Amino acid sequence: TTAPTARSTTASDALFDRARAVTPGGVNSPVRAFNAVGGTPRFITSAHGAWLTDVDGNEYVDLVCSWGPMLLGHAHPEVVAAVQAAVARGTSYGTPTEGEVTLVEEIVARTPVERLRLVSSGTEATMSAIRLARGFTGRDVVVKFAGCYHGHVDSLLAAAGSGLTTFSIPGTPGVPASSTELTLVLPYNDREAVAAAFAEHGDRIACLITEAAPGNMGVVPPAPGFNQFLAETCRAHGALFISDEVMTGFRVSRSGQWGTDGAVEGWTPDLMTFGKVMGGGLPAAAFGGRADVMHHLAPEGPVYQAGTLSGNPIATAAGLATLRLATDEVYAHLGAVADTLRPAVADAFAAAGVPHVIQSTGSMFSVFLTDRPVTDYAEAQRTDSAAYGAFFHAMLDRGVHLPPSAYEAWFLSAAHDDRAVQAVLDALPDAARAAAAA
Ligand code: PMP
């Protein structure tokens, strides 16, 4: 075990003060504010490979990887070169480009989608997929699962109603009841709830959207066959099955979660959404799927969707370079690093006497500080957030930047080499003891 390094945060503190004076919470996306763990978020000035450097000159092993996109690690030379070359040719044209076609071809080759449309964020992708599903089916009701996050789409910021087949209430002020009254929120991994909802409302359901493997309540893998069951239930009722692979796509396998379930079991989603890795750290995302469904999208069909910066040439260059470098060796490496870290995390908590459960899909994993497996959002909420906060800060003090929330996946990259892994292993025992003391 190591003694904590003295880590000044003077410069981050000062920037956080400046930021809070002009931006709500001082951040441009809420989880960055460290609200769940307390303390000052580190203002990062640069990142290379597996390492972040903050404004005070501290270095951290990065286990957030920009919340997923940085599959190759930071500032990969070939990605940087592709971006620099693209920038030098101009930043946006508002016309079609060859780079967009090539990126879409790469995604079509890796996944079961037949047609794909590029957008700029995961939120846009899921919002557009739902609009298309409603336009295609002529139905209005959307089914989602509690604990699954699909971006800040009004109709998906819904909290469960009072019963399993009752419609939802807004999950945040600012979303009108009319935006969520057509959304059904069900418990994850619960086949009976899905069957009951479709039995009661099946002929009104346009689509069911699910994270391919939830990572936004911590990692809660689908029970074996659950996604296939969802696909079959949707088909039986004429609803579309939307698999949200914004987080898992091109991360948990060459294609994503589908590569480990649908590709093996022989089913395909009607629509899929992607983001994060496919943009290589720049804003690019996509939705796509069955050609006959995508055919309903403007300008071929009547369902409207558009974007000034969609298919942006710099973002597509970064995404394409990233995907081309995401070889089988990269996925094997991520798997090997995860296989080293998971048992080490478990051993550290066991030695410290802290109840814990580690759950994963592919190399994406998270730790729940609770005493039994987590299959849905209600179970996830039993995790000990205070203990996680103590663990988080002890890791940060020892140079490891974990996600600043107990409900987030840990992300690895191809750049997590032996030195980075060792730094994590060295920090774990003391940090687990800090969790025990919390
Ligand atoms: N879907 C999933 C599964 C996500 O994890 C996220 C973002 N964490 C989104 C959609 C929204 O993507 P974005 O933040 O790019 O809007």
pLDDT of residue 1: 45
Q: What is the ipTM of this complex?
A: 0.99
pLDDT of residue 161: 79
Instruction: Give residue 324 CA to ligand 1 midpoint distance, Å.
Output: 22
Query: Does residue 151's CB lie within 6 angstroms of at least one atom of ligand 1?
Result: yes
Residue ranges and CATH numbers for the domains of the chain are 10-71+327-437 (3.90.1150.10), 77-325 (3.40.640.10)
pLDDT of residue 4: 57
Q: Which residues pair with 360 in a beta bridge?
A: 365
Burial (0-12, 13-18, 19+ Cβ within 10 Å), 138: exposed
CA 126 to chain CA centroid, Å, is 13
Tell me the C-alpha distance between 104 and 279, whole Å: 12
What element of type H or E holds 270? Answer: none
The predicted-structure confidence for 267-303, as pLDDT tens digits, reads as follows: 999 999 999 999 999 999 999 999 999 999 999 999 9
Nearest to 128 by CA among 314, 318, 293: 293
Atom number in ligand 1 closest to CA 214: 3
Atom number in ligand 1 closest to CA 126: 10
Instruction: Give residue 139 CA to ligand 1 midpoint distance, Å.
Output: 25
Q: Which two tokens stand for residue 189?
A: 């991994």
Instruction: Give residue 8 CA to ligand 1 midpoint distance, Å.
Output: 32
pLDDT of residue 3: 52
Enter the pTM of the model: 0.97
The residue whose CB lies within 8 Å of the most ligand 1 atoms, and thus the one to mutate among 145, 149, 217, 312, is 149
The predicted-structure confidence for 43-76, as pLDDT tens digits, reads as follows: 999 999 999 999 999 999 999 999 999 999 999 9
Mean pLDDT score of the chain: 96
The predicted-structure confidence for 80-135, as pLDDT tens digits, reads as follows: 999 999 999 999 999 999 999 999 999 999 999 999 999 999 999 999 999 999 99
